[in-house]
Amino acid sequence: MTELMEDTPGYAVSSPFDSASPGDCYFRARDGTRFKVLRHVLVDTSPYFVDLLKGVTASTSSELPIFDIDEDARTLHALLAFLYPVHVPDLLNGALILQLADIEEKYCIPESRIALGFSTAMEIHFADKTKPIERAIDLFSLAWRFDSRQACHFISRHTHPVDLTDKTTVKKSVHYSKSIESYIALTELRRQREFSLDGIIEALEPKKHFCPSHSSSDKMFFTFISMMKTAARHALLAPFPICHDAFSFLGIQGTDGIRVVTWCSSCYAGADRTRLTNQLREAISRYPQVVSIVPDEDVWRVW
Protein backbone atom coordinates (compact mmCIF):
# COMPACT_ATOMS: atom_id res chain seq x y z
CA MET A 1 0.00 0.00 0.00
CA THR A 2 1.33 3.42 -0.94
CA GLU A 3 0.00 6.92 -0.84
CA LEU A 4 -1.97 8.53 -3.63
CA MET A 5 0.17 9.77 -6.50
CA GLU A 6 -0.43 11.81 -9.62
CA ASP A 7 -2.84 10.45 -12.23
CA THR A 8 -1.14 8.39 -14.91
CA PRO A 9 -2.38 9.05 -18.43
CA GLY A 10 -3.05 6.06 -20.68
CA TYR A 11 -5.94 3.70 -20.13
CA ALA A 12 -9.25 5.55 -19.86
CA VAL A 13 -10.95 4.52 -16.63
CA SER A 14 -14.72 4.77 -16.80
CA SER A 15 -17.42 4.90 -14.13
CA PRO A 16 -17.77 3.42 -11.55
CA PHE A 17 -13.98 3.16 -11.20
CA ASP A 18 -12.90 6.67 -12.21
CA SER A 19 -11.80 9.22 -9.64
CA ALA A 20 -15.22 10.93 -9.67
CA SER A 21 -16.95 7.71 -8.62
CA PRO A 22 -17.55 6.82 -4.98
CA GLY A 23 -14.82 4.69 -3.51
CA ASP A 24 -12.64 4.19 -0.47
CA CYS A 25 -9.39 3.00 -2.04
CA TYR A 26 -7.52 2.71 -5.32
CA PHE A 27 -6.26 -0.33 -7.16
CA ARG A 28 -3.26 0.47 -9.31
CA ALA A 29 -2.48 -1.60 -12.42
CA ARG A 30 1.06 -2.37 -13.58
CA ASP A 31 1.12 0.65 -15.90
CA GLY A 32 0.03 2.97 -13.08
CA THR A 33 -3.62 3.27 -14.08
CA ARG A 34 -5.75 3.68 -10.97
CA PHE A 35 -9.24 2.35 -10.36
CA LYS A 36 -11.30 3.71 -7.50
CA VAL A 37 -13.12 0.92 -5.73
CA LEU A 38 -15.42 0.30 -2.81
CA ARG A 39 -13.90 -2.22 -0.43
CA HIS A 40 -17.18 -3.58 0.86
CA VAL A 41 -18.25 -4.58 -2.67
CA LEU A 42 -15.07 -6.53 -3.31
CA VAL A 43 -14.81 -8.32 0.00
CA ASP A 44 -18.23 -9.82 -0.61
CA THR A 45 -17.14 -11.30 -3.92
CA SER A 46 -13.76 -12.87 -3.39
CA PRO A 47 -11.71 -14.18 -0.44
CA TYR A 48 -8.64 -12.72 -2.16
CA PHE A 49 -9.87 -9.22 -1.50
CA VAL A 50 -10.87 -10.05 2.07
CA ASP A 51 -7.19 -10.82 2.68
CA LEU A 52 -5.88 -7.91 0.70
CA LEU A 53 -8.13 -5.33 2.29
CA LYS A 54 -8.26 -6.52 5.86
CA GLY A 55 -6.83 -4.19 8.41
CA VAL A 56 -7.30 -1.13 6.21
CA THR A 57 -8.91 1.59 8.24
CA ALA A 58 -11.10 4.39 6.97
CA SER A 59 -9.22 7.45 5.76
CA THR A 60 -10.07 10.89 4.52
CA SER A 61 -11.05 11.15 0.86
CA SER A 62 -7.85 12.96 -0.10
CA GLU A 63 -5.68 10.15 1.23
CA LEU A 64 -7.25 7.04 -0.15
CA PRO A 65 -5.03 4.00 0.16
CA ILE A 66 -3.61 2.47 -3.01
CA PHE A 67 -3.11 -1.22 -3.67
CA ASP A 68 -0.82 -2.39 -6.43
CA ILE A 69 -2.35 -5.20 -8.47
CA ASP A 70 -0.02 -7.12 -10.73
CA GLU A 71 -2.18 -6.99 -13.89
CA ASP A 72 -2.39 -4.67 -16.88
CA ALA A 73 -5.09 -2.00 -16.80
CA ARG A 74 -7.49 -3.75 -19.17
CA THR A 75 -7.33 -7.03 -17.28
CA LEU A 76 -7.75 -5.28 -13.94
CA HIS A 77 -10.70 -3.36 -15.35
CA ALA A 78 -12.28 -6.63 -16.54
CA LEU A 79 -11.64 -8.26 -13.18
CA LEU A 80 -13.34 -5.42 -11.31
CA ALA A 81 -16.20 -5.23 -13.79
CA PHE A 82 -16.88 -8.92 -13.30
CA LEU A 83 -16.89 -8.63 -9.55
CA TYR A 84 -18.87 -5.40 -9.38
CA PRO A 85 -22.60 -5.32 -10.08
CA VAL A 86 -22.06 -3.37 -13.32
CA HIS A 87 -22.46 -4.15 -17.00
CA VAL A 88 -19.48 -3.34 -19.20
CA PRO A 89 -20.17 -4.79 -22.67
CA ASP A 90 -16.80 -3.62 -24.06
CA LEU A 91 -15.06 -6.06 -21.75
CA LEU A 92 -17.10 -9.04 -22.86
CA ASN A 93 -14.75 -10.52 -25.39
CA GLY A 94 -13.17 -13.92 -25.63
CA ALA A 95 -9.58 -12.79 -25.09
CA LEU A 96 -10.40 -11.02 -21.82
CA ILE A 97 -12.53 -13.90 -20.58
CA LEU A 98 -9.53 -16.19 -21.12
CA GLN A 99 -7.33 -13.73 -19.28
CA LEU A 100 -9.75 -13.78 -16.36
CA ALA A 101 -9.68 -17.58 -16.44
CA ASP A 102 -5.87 -17.31 -16.17
CA ILE A 103 -6.09 -15.23 -12.99
CA GLU A 104 -9.23 -16.90 -11.64
CA GLU A 105 -7.51 -18.80 -8.85
CA LYS A 106 -5.24 -15.96 -7.87
CA TYR A 107 -8.18 -13.61 -7.23
CA CYS A 108 -10.70 -16.31 -6.26
CA ILE A 109 -13.06 -15.17 -9.00
CA PRO A 110 -16.31 -17.12 -8.71
CA GLU A 111 -16.59 -19.59 -11.61
CA SER A 112 -20.20 -18.57 -12.22
CA ARG A 113 -19.08 -15.00 -13.04
CA ILE A 114 -16.64 -16.19 -15.67
CA ALA A 115 -19.17 -18.66 -17.07
CA LEU A 116 -21.75 -15.92 -17.44
CA GLY A 117 -19.25 -13.53 -19.07
CA PHE A 118 -18.13 -16.30 -21.39
CA SER A 119 -21.69 -17.08 -22.38
CA THR A 120 -22.43 -13.45 -23.15
CA ALA A 121 -19.20 -13.02 -25.14
CA MET A 122 -20.03 -16.09 -27.21
CA GLU A 123 -23.53 -14.80 -27.80
CA ILE A 124 -21.97 -11.86 -29.61
CA HIS A 125 -20.11 -14.28 -31.90
CA PHE A 126 -23.19 -16.38 -32.36
CA ALA A 127 -25.12 -13.34 -33.58
CA ASP A 128 -22.49 -12.66 -36.24
CA LYS A 129 -21.29 -15.98 -37.58
CA THR A 130 -18.84 -14.38 -40.02
CA LYS A 131 -16.89 -12.82 -37.18
CA PRO A 132 -13.63 -14.71 -36.71
CA ILE A 133 -12.99 -16.25 -33.29
CA GLU A 134 -9.46 -15.78 -32.09
CA ARG A 135 -7.99 -18.40 -29.76
CA ALA A 136 -10.77 -20.76 -30.77
CA ILE A 137 -9.15 -23.81 -29.16
CA ASP A 138 -8.83 -22.02 -25.82
CA LEU A 139 -12.43 -20.81 -25.94
CA PHE A 140 -13.63 -24.24 -27.01
CA SER A 141 -11.86 -25.66 -23.97
CA LEU A 142 -13.52 -23.12 -21.70
CA ALA A 143 -16.91 -24.01 -23.22
CA TRP A 144 -16.12 -27.62 -22.43
CA ARG A 145 -15.35 -26.79 -18.83
CA PHE A 146 -18.63 -24.89 -18.49
CA ASP A 147 -20.56 -27.83 -20.00
CA SER A 148 -21.95 -25.74 -22.79
CA ARG A 149 -22.58 -28.15 -25.65
CA GLN A 150 -24.01 -25.45 -27.86
CA ALA A 151 -20.89 -23.32 -27.44
CA CYS A 152 -18.69 -26.39 -28.03
CA HIS A 153 -20.49 -27.09 -31.29
CA PHE A 154 -20.32 -23.50 -32.45
CA ILE A 155 -16.70 -22.82 -31.53
CA SER A 156 -15.46 -26.15 -32.89
CA ARG A 157 -16.31 -24.82 -36.38
CA HIS A 158 -13.62 -22.21 -35.86
CA THR A 159 -10.88 -24.63 -34.83
CA HIS A 160 -10.24 -26.24 -38.22
CA PRO A 161 -7.12 -24.24 -39.20
CA VAL A 162 -5.33 -24.82 -35.87
CA ASP A 163 -2.39 -27.23 -35.70
CA LEU A 164 -3.53 -29.76 -33.11
CA THR A 165 -0.12 -31.42 -32.95
CA ASP A 166 1.43 -28.29 -31.41
CA LYS A 167 2.31 -29.11 -27.79
CA THR A 168 1.29 -25.63 -26.64
CA THR A 169 -2.17 -26.23 -28.07
CA VAL A 170 -2.53 -29.43 -26.08
CA LYS A 171 -1.34 -27.77 -22.88
CA LYS A 172 -3.67 -24.81 -23.25
CA SER A 173 -6.60 -27.01 -24.07
CA VAL A 174 -6.10 -28.97 -20.86
CA HIS A 175 -5.44 -25.76 -18.92
CA TYR A 176 -8.74 -24.13 -19.90
CA SER A 177 -10.97 -27.20 -19.88
CA LYS A 178 -9.30 -28.86 -16.88
CA SER A 179 -9.60 -32.13 -18.76
CA ILE A 180 -7.99 -33.96 -21.69
CA GLU A 181 -11.41 -34.79 -23.10
CA SER A 182 -11.86 -31.49 -24.91
CA TYR A 183 -8.64 -32.06 -26.82
CA ILE A 184 -9.68 -35.61 -27.67
CA ALA A 185 -13.00 -34.26 -29.02
CA LEU A 186 -11.10 -31.92 -31.35
CA THR A 187 -8.70 -34.57 -32.60
CA GLU A 188 -11.63 -36.90 -33.25
CA LEU A 189 -13.31 -34.18 -35.31
CA ARG A 190 -10.09 -33.73 -37.26
CA ARG A 191 -9.92 -37.49 -37.90
CA GLN A 192 -13.51 -37.58 -39.12
CA ARG A 193 -12.88 -34.67 -41.45
CA GLU A 194 -9.83 -36.30 -42.99
CA PHE A 195 -11.74 -39.55 -43.44
CA SER A 196 -14.69 -37.74 -45.02
CA LEU A 197 -12.60 -35.98 -47.66
CA ASP A 198 -13.23 -39.02 -49.86
CA GLY A 199 -16.92 -38.10 -49.98
CA ILE A 200 -16.04 -34.60 -51.16
CA ILE A 201 -13.81 -35.90 -53.96
CA GLU A 202 -16.34 -38.57 -54.91
CA ALA A 203 -18.97 -35.85 -55.49
CA LEU A 204 -16.79 -34.56 -58.32
CA GLU A 205 -16.68 -37.95 -60.09
CA PRO A 206 -12.96 -37.86 -60.92
CA LYS A 207 -12.92 -41.29 -62.53
CA LYS A 208 -15.53 -40.15 -65.00
CA HIS A 209 -14.08 -36.73 -65.79
CA PHE A 210 -10.34 -37.22 -65.83
CA CYS A 211 -9.02 -37.48 -69.39
CA PRO A 212 -7.52 -40.85 -70.44
CA SER A 213 -3.93 -39.73 -69.95
CA HIS A 214 -4.70 -38.65 -66.37
CA SER A 215 -6.70 -41.70 -65.39
CA SER A 216 -4.96 -44.57 -67.16
CA SER A 217 -2.02 -44.85 -64.78
CA ASP A 218 -2.72 -45.34 -61.07
CA LYS A 219 0.19 -43.12 -60.16
CA MET A 220 -1.09 -40.19 -62.20
CA PHE A 221 -4.67 -40.73 -61.05
CA PHE A 222 -3.81 -40.79 -57.35
CA THR A 223 -1.47 -37.84 -57.69
CA PHE A 224 -4.38 -35.77 -58.95
CA ILE A 225 -6.75 -37.16 -56.32
CA SER A 226 -4.19 -36.09 -53.72
CA MET A 227 -4.07 -32.59 -55.23
CA MET A 228 -7.87 -32.38 -55.11
CA LYS A 229 -7.85 -33.49 -51.48
CA THR A 230 -5.33 -30.82 -50.56
CA ALA A 231 -7.50 -28.21 -52.28
CA ALA A 232 -10.63 -29.55 -50.55
CA ARG A 233 -8.95 -29.63 -47.15
CA HIS A 234 -8.02 -25.97 -47.57
CA ALA A 235 -11.44 -24.89 -48.88
CA LEU A 236 -13.20 -26.58 -45.96
CA LEU A 237 -11.29 -24.70 -43.26
CA ALA A 238 -13.98 -22.01 -43.19
CA PRO A 239 -16.41 -22.31 -40.25
CA PHE A 240 -19.36 -22.14 -42.64
CA PRO A 241 -18.07 -23.14 -46.10
CA ILE A 242 -20.20 -21.90 -48.98
CA CYS A 243 -19.90 -23.47 -52.42
CA HIS A 244 -21.04 -21.27 -55.30
CA ASP A 245 -19.28 -23.35 -57.90
CA ALA A 246 -17.64 -26.76 -57.58
CA PHE A 247 -14.55 -25.89 -59.59
CA SER A 248 -13.77 -22.56 -57.98
CA PHE A 249 -14.56 -23.90 -54.49
CA LEU A 250 -11.80 -26.47 -54.78
CA GLY A 251 -9.55 -24.22 -56.80
CA ILE A 252 -9.74 -26.67 -59.69
CA GLN A 253 -10.70 -23.85 -61.97
CA GLY A 254 -11.39 -20.37 -60.75
CA THR A 255 -14.24 -18.32 -62.17
CA ASP A 256 -11.59 -16.31 -63.97
CA GLY A 257 -10.36 -19.47 -65.65
CA ILE A 258 -7.13 -19.74 -63.65
CA ARG A 259 -6.49 -23.33 -62.75
CA VAL A 260 -5.01 -23.95 -59.33
CA VAL A 261 -4.88 -27.70 -59.76
CA THR A 262 -2.84 -27.81 -62.94
CA TRP A 263 -4.23 -30.61 -65.01
CA CYS A 264 -4.86 -30.57 -68.71
CA SER A 265 -7.75 -28.89 -70.46
CA SER A 266 -9.24 -32.26 -71.41
CA CYS A 267 -9.95 -33.17 -67.78
CA TYR A 268 -13.52 -32.14 -66.91
CA ALA A 269 -14.06 -30.91 -70.48
CA GLY A 270 -17.79 -30.76 -71.09
CA ALA A 271 -18.67 -31.74 -67.51
CA ASP A 272 -22.06 -30.60 -66.24
CA ARG A 273 -20.82 -27.96 -63.84
CA THR A 274 -24.19 -27.27 -62.26
CA ARG A 275 -24.80 -30.92 -61.48
CA LEU A 276 -21.30 -31.34 -60.01
CA THR A 277 -21.77 -28.19 -57.93
CA ASN A 278 -25.05 -29.51 -56.53
CA GLN A 279 -23.40 -32.83 -55.70
CA LEU A 280 -20.51 -31.06 -54.01
CA ARG A 281 -22.88 -28.88 -51.97
CA GLU A 282 -24.66 -32.00 -50.82
CA ALA A 283 -21.34 -33.59 -49.83
CA ILE A 284 -20.27 -30.42 -47.97
CA SER A 285 -23.54 -30.41 -46.01
CA ARG A 286 -22.67 -33.91 -44.77
CA TYR A 287 -19.04 -33.08 -44.05
CA PRO A 288 -18.18 -33.03 -40.30
CA GLN A 289 -17.98 -29.43 -39.09
CA VAL A 290 -18.62 -29.72 -35.36
CA VAL A 291 -17.45 -32.04 -32.61
CA SER A 292 -19.38 -35.26 -32.12
CA ILE A 293 -17.91 -35.83 -28.65
CA VAL A 294 -19.39 -33.28 -26.22
CA PRO A 295 -19.34 -32.68 -22.46
CA ASP A 296 -21.24 -35.24 -20.37
CA GLU A 297 -23.42 -32.57 -18.84
CA ASP A 298 -25.23 -29.89 -20.79
CA VAL A 299 -25.78 -26.63 -19.04
CA TRP A 300 -28.38 -24.36 -20.53
CA ARG A 301 -27.06 -20.98 -21.51
CA VAL A 302 -28.87 -17.80 -22.41
CA TRP A 303 -28.30 -18.41 -26.11
193 or 273, CB closer to Zn ion?
273
Using CB under 5 A as the criterion, which residues of the chain lie in contact with Zn ion when the complex forms? 211, 214, 263-264, 266-267
Report in angstroms how near the CB of residue 208 gets to Zn ion at its nearest: 13
Report in angstroms how near the CB of residue 219 gets to Zn ion at its nearest: 14
236 or 267, CB closer to Zn ion?
267
Question: How far is Cα of residue 137 from the mean position of the Cα atoms in its chain?
Answer: 6
214 or 281, CB closer to Zn ion?
214
124 or 211, CB closer to Zn ion?
211
On the CB side of 123, CA atoms within 13 Å amount to 12
Q: Are 133 and 158 in contact (CB under 8 A)?
A: yes
Report in angstroms how near the CB of residue 265 gets to Zn ion at its nearest: 8
**DSSP of 94-134:** HHHHHHHHHTTTTTT--HHHHHHHHHHHHHHHHH-TTS--T
187 or 230, CB closer to Zn ion?
230
Report in angstroms how near the CB of residue 214 gets to Zn ion at its nearest: 4
Report in angstroms how near the CB of residue 210 gets to Zn ion at its nearest: 6
Category of 147 on φ-ψ map: left (φ > 0), alpha (ψ -120 to 50) or beta: left
Does residue 16 have a cis bond before it (omega within 30 degrees)? yes
Report in angstroms how near the CB of residue 260 gets to Zn ion at its nearest: 15
At 123, the amino acid letter reads: E
Q: Are 171 and 136 in contact (CB under 8 A)?
A: no
User: Rounded CA gap, 32 and 24, in Å?
Assistant: 18
Report in angstroms how near the CB of residue 278 gets to Zn ion at its nearest: 23
- Which has the closest alpha carbon to 77: 115, 34, 131? 34
19 or 266, CB closer to Zn ion?
266
129 or 207, CB closer to Zn ion?
207
- Which has the closest alpha carbon to 81: 4, 15, 159, 164? 15
What are the C-alpha distances in Å from 112 to residues 7, 101, 109, 122, 191?
34, 11, 9, 15, 34
* Beta pairing class for 34-37 and 25-28: antiparallel
Report in angstroms how near the CB of residue 268 gets to Zn ion at its nearest: 8
95 or 271, CB closer to Zn ion?
271
